[in-house]
Structure 1
Amino acid sequence: MATSDRHRRGPGRTGAGGRVLGYLGSTRNITGCVLALTGLAAHFLGLAGTLWPLVVAGLYGAGALLAPPEPARAAVSLAGAGPGALRTELDALRRRVAGSGLPADVAARVEGLTGLLEGMLGRAEALAASPDHLHVVSQTIRDYLPASLDAYAALPRSYAMERRDGDGRSPHEELLDQLDLLDGGLREIARAVHRGDEQALRDQGRFLRDRFGRSELDL
């Protein structure tokens, strides 16, 4: 069906149209138009002479060439890093952790992290609205958390618990510190993701107080 639909539209039409619309809203086009309007205003004021069309065109070209480039946008493909795929990977990570025999304090922190991640993935639309947040959640599931746990699991248990020279922390304490750092970062993202839910709850509370407040109950 997708192939026949593309055939009806004609090859390349959608892409070309998208590029045209993208340029119309670009910084280069807007800057060029502003300078061109300045040249047109100069013509109406009698300042551009008979060559005003060239002046207007030249100003547009100068604006388009000298305008700053468009800011780079983080492109996050939901097909490869969407909440559905990430939830599957999170479930797999949980199963790995459950069978790894981690110390109780580590397992508790990991469970808290995976709970935060699961809650955010449950609000897929709000999470996908911020590519930066989606990227951090994706990297935590696929890289940050597994990398810390794998490095710790490679150490003998007795070695991981021993204190070391230097900062005096054991590998076990280093892992707990890394998990706390992840927890702090994810909680900030969770607050942003669930801000709409919190506002909806507050709005519902105001409605209920207005609807079922003491003044109505006393009638």
Structure 2
Amino acid sequence: MATSRSSSRSNSRALAYLESRKNLAGSACGVVGVGLALTGAAGSLWPLVVVGLYAAGALIAPPERVAPPEFDPSEQLGVLREDFGRLREYLAEVELPPAAGGKLTELLELYGRLLDPGWVADVLAADPESVHALSRAVRTDVPESVDTYNRARWWNRLQPGTVPPERHLERQLSVLFDEAERLTAGLHEVETRRQQTHTTYLEERGRS
């Protein structure tokens, strides 16, 4: 079984090389060497000339280009939606102070509107930097903020008088909300430019 697979892979590699640019270029140069041999220009060393020309052609041929993998942005958002669902389940089990809880609710609603399947999510998927920023917030920033709050709250009970941990949590959530609003504004700007571009195109077409 293993021998059969190994043989199949070897045959595939051999066929791939026969069709490669290196082999085609080397063969073309080798044909030139055969022509020199037939005319007698290569002398008695014509086999070495043919092999040398083939090797030279194979060396100067451009390398084969391996196409990079294609990633479907919609699939990335699908995975992110699943992670967002797990985040919401986790947060539903956590007790937060009212102010922080209200800010977190606003933040999650904004994330949810961006991730809801539809044309908004399509605009988001077309912007890798925005997808990265939202992924970082959902998978790292929000859970880290809530978890560190819970840990600090326990320590604060042992050592009262320090800065209340809910203050830090509120500040962190405010920063994340501002970041999400900037992200949303950036996507809105993309759509605005798209509309303006279409207006310009129609006006120029009308003048022509």
Q: Report the TM-score when normalising by structure 1.
A: 0.49
Q: Which of residues 60, 84, 92 in structure 2 aligns to 1:98?
A: 92
| Contact 1:81-1:138 at 8 Å conserved across structures | no
Aligned position for 1:193: 187
Amino acid in structure 1 at the alignment position of 2:186: A
How far apart are residue 158 of structure 1 and its match?
Answer: 8.3
Residue-by-residue CA offset, 1:113-132 (whole Å, 9 max, x unaligned):
11111111122211111111
Aligned position for 2:137: 140
How far apart are residue 192 of structure 1 and its match?
Answer: 2.1
Structure 1: runs of 5+ lacking an equivalent: 1-6, 17-74, 202-219
SS in 2 for 1:154: helix
Distance 1:155 1:199, change over 3 A: same
Q: Which of residues 79, 102, 106 in structure 2 aligns to 1:112?
A: 106
Distance 1:130 1:196, change over 3 A: closer
Amino acid in structure 1 at the alignment position of 2:177: D
Whole-Å separation in 1 of the counterparts to 2:83 and 2:107: 14
Q: Which has the larger radius of gyration?
A: 2
Distance 1:78 1:180, change over 3 A: farther
SS in 1 for 2:152: coil
CA RMSD in angstroms, aligned pairs only: 3.7
| Contact 2:74-2:125 at 8 Å conserved across structures | no
Amino acid in structure 2 at the alignment position of 1:182: L
Aligned position for 1:27: none
Distance 1:81 1:158, change over 3 A: farther
Q: Which of residues 147, 150, 165 in structure 2 aligns to 1:153?
A: 150
Residue-by-residue CA offset, 1:153-208 (whole Å, 9 max, x unaligned):
123468279552xxxx422101111111111111010122244667999xxxxxxx
Aligned position for 1:131: 128
Amino acid in structure 2 at the alignment position of 1:99: E
Aligned position for 1:45: none
Q: Which of residues 177, 183, 186 in structure 2 aligns to 1:183?
A: 177
Q: Report the TM-score when normalising by structure 2.
A: 0.51
Whole-Å separation in 2 of the counterparts to 1:135 and 1:121: 13
What percent of counterpart residues are identical? 23
Amino acid in structure 2 at the alignment position of 1:139: R
Q: Give 1 or 2: higher helix fraction.
A: 2
Whole-Å separation in 2 of the counterparts to 1:140 and 1:154: 20
Whole-Å separation in 2 of the counterparts to 1:178 and 1:142: 15
Aligned position for 1:71: none
| Contact 2:124-2:131 at 8 Å conserved across structures | yes
Distance 1:82 1:135, change over 3 A: same
